[in-house]
A = this chain, B = another copy of it.
């Protein structure tokens, strides 16, 4: 089929996979790292910095915003994107919970 059969998994499993998936693209990793390295909030220097087209960057930002890792505020004619630190920490905790509760029982 090719479509992921989300209905056969739990909501938690789907949510967890969704976080991993959004972080699973190097452009989005790079965007998050770049934003975090600026003293001020950065808008679309990202286009120059990362080297993808404006439309592409905008799309990646949207995905990061959708899962709540970024928030954006209007700042003059540009947008000020920044990491939503509460959400950030919450996601980190979720991922760690997954790692910690999944242990080896092996061979």
Contact = CB atoms under 8 A, between A and B. Distances in A.
Interface of A: 4-6, 8-10, 13-14, 16-30, 32-33, 35-36, 38-41, 50-52, 71, 73, 80, 82-85, 88, 91-92, 95-96, 98-99, 101-107
Contacts of A19: 24
B104 A82 contact: yes
Given A17-B26, A21-B25, 12 more contacts: A9-B29, A16-B29, A20-B21, A20-B29, A21-B21, A23-B24, A33-B102, A40-B105, A41-B106, A83-B105, A92-B96, A95-B95
Tally of this chain's copies: 2
B41 A105 contact: yes
